[in-house]
Amino acid sequence: MTIKELEEKEVELRASIDSADSNEKLEEIERGITELQEQRKNYNETKNKMEERFKNMENVQALGENRKSTEKVDIRKAFAKQVLFESTKGFRTDAKLSDAEVRALGISNTTTSETFVEATSSVNGVNNGGLFIPQEVILEILEEEAIESPIFNDIITTSIKGMTKFPYKFSKTGAKKKAELTATDNENVEWKVLSGSTGNYTDSIVLTFEAEAMAINEFADYLIRLIGESMRELLINDYIYGDGNNDSVKGLTVGAIDGKYATADKAKYRKIIEDAIKLLPAKKRAGAKIYVASDIYDGMTFEKDTNGNYILPVLNGGGLTKISVFPIVADANLSAGDFIIGNLAKWYKANINKQMELGLDVSNQNRTKTYTTHMMVTAIPVPNSIVYGTENN
């Protein structure tokens, strides 16, 4: 029976009350009305449950359709849009993030502060909206650094939040021969822990209002390139020469095996490198590479014998690639006369323990915006694993 039929039946019974000729008949009619009311109540409850069920099914179906048509997000473009949107206080409507971009960026683009100071004749406007740079973009920036520096390229930089200590294998007893059916001794491995020095790396890049008027894709390339350029020299130089003091990491040259050579011998690069290789412990030679400053590389490439002939074929000859079994490369970040020998991927520990972020300072008077980048890195070499050669002057 439908709800309409129940209501009609109830009206009919109520009308019959006036014509009831006995108490018994009246009680029967009232019982019928009560029963109909209960049926209508159950009907309404069932109807509401079904409507809610269908509503949930529609939501699930819509969610499924959304998942099927999920927008493919370009993280670098989304990051650039977020920077533009925040820095223009929302006036760049073309830079507003889509729902998919918001989900893709997640917490990596959380605004850490909403403080705003209006610019005056003597005070720059400030909007400290800290924007964390997404991990994919950080990796892209680091890859650009790797292209410029073979040393940086060979160092494995991890990104584990708060990691400042690095365990490494110091010694082990090794495998032993045992006769058949005799118990095998446990291998003893001694581990030590390096406590790295944490470096705070910050630099600023300035963008004009006109630069921010660029199209999103162009701005993404421009911004990421500027961030990379602003951080590159800071990080690479410290990976090599940082002394662990004044907010710098411990670089490759800290506590390295001493490969100094006399000024009088500085033109004898083959002999200098040969002697330095012999300083590297035998167990640390696997995977080692020789990194030399540009002047050393050029000196060895264009070296001549006693008859004035080039030792290496300098025209269409492939250049200098190996000394003994060790690959050799030039790194422009090494100071003149310097070289490093070692397996940097294994014996130099580096970790980004605070993700790179941008802070914004606005100067309306100068029509510029200064983006300050900041990141924290912890790094340290494993002792007695790397040779550092330099002129002893």
The pLDDT tens digits of the residues spanning 152-179 come to 889 988 776 665 555 555 555 555 555 5
Domain total for the chain? 2
Domain that residue 13 falls in: 3-62
Q: In the predicted model, what is the mean pLDDT of residues 298-316?
A: 85
Q: In the predicted model, what is the mean pLDDT of residues 101-123?
A: 47
Q: What is the pTM of this model?
A: 0.64
Q: Are residues 56 and 137 in the same domain?
A: no
Q: Are residues 57 and 138 in the same domain?
A: no
Q: Are residues 25 and 163 in the same domain?
A: no
Give 171: exposed, middle or buried? Use CB within 10 Å, 0-12, 13-18, 19+: exposed
Q: Are residues 343 and 201 in the same domain?
A: yes
* Element housing 322 (H / E): strand 322-323
As given in the structure block, the two tokens for residue 325 are 């079994």
As given in the structure block, the two tokens for residue 100 are 């998919």
Q: Any idea what DSSP says for residue 251?
A: -
302 assigned to some structural domain? yes
228 assigned to some structural domain? yes
Q: Are residues 240 and 373 in the same domain?
A: yes
237 assigned to some structural domain? yes
Band of the pLDDT at 113, cuts 50, 70, 90?
Answer: very low
As given in the structure block, the two tokens for residue 263 are 């000024």
Q: Are residues 208 and 337 in the same domain?
A: yes
164 assigned to some structural domain? yes
As given in the structure block, the two tokens for residue 84 are 């533009």
Q: Is the pLDDT of residue 346 over 80?
A: yes
Q: Which of 24, 46, 62 is the last residue of a domain?
A: 62
What CATH number is given to the structural domain containing 217? 3.30.2320.10
Q: Are residues 167 and 52 in the same domain?
A: no
Q: Is the pLDDT of residue 182 over 80?
A: no
Predicted pLDDT at 179: 54
Q: Are residues 139 and 277 in the same domain?
A: yes
16 assigned to some structural domain? yes
Q: Are residues 50 and 138 in the same domain?
A: no
Q: Are residues 386 and 279 in the same domain?
A: yes
The total of other beta-carbon atoms located within 10 Å of residue 60's CB is 10
33 assigned to some structural domain? yes
Residue 112 near residue 138, CB atoms below 8 Å: no
Q: Which of 40, 62, 84 is the last residue of a domain?
A: 62
Q: Are residues 8 and 137 in the same domain?
A: no
Q: Are residues 237 and 344 in the same domain?
A: yes
Band of the pLDDT at 119, cuts 50, 70, 90?
Answer: very low
Predicted pLDDT at 68: 42
Q: pLDDT tens digit string along 213-262?
A: 788 888 888 888 888 777 777 888 899 999 888 888 889 999 899 999 99
Band of the pLDDT at 41, cuts 50, 70, 90?
Answer: confident
360 assigned to some structural domain? yes
Helix axes 75-87 and 135-148, enclosed angle (nearest 10): 110
Predicted pLDDT at 340: 97
Q: Which of 11, 42, 62 is the last residue of a domain?
A: 62
More confident of the two residues 150 and 375:
150
- 95-99, 253-257, 291-295, 381-385: range with lowest mean pLDDT: 95-99
121 assigned to some structural domain? no
Give whichever of 297-301, 313-317, 357-361 has the largest mean pLDDT: 297-301
Each as own residue / partner, the long-range contacts of residues 90-97 (CB below 8 Å, 24 or more positions apart, any chain) are 92/212, 94/216, 95/216
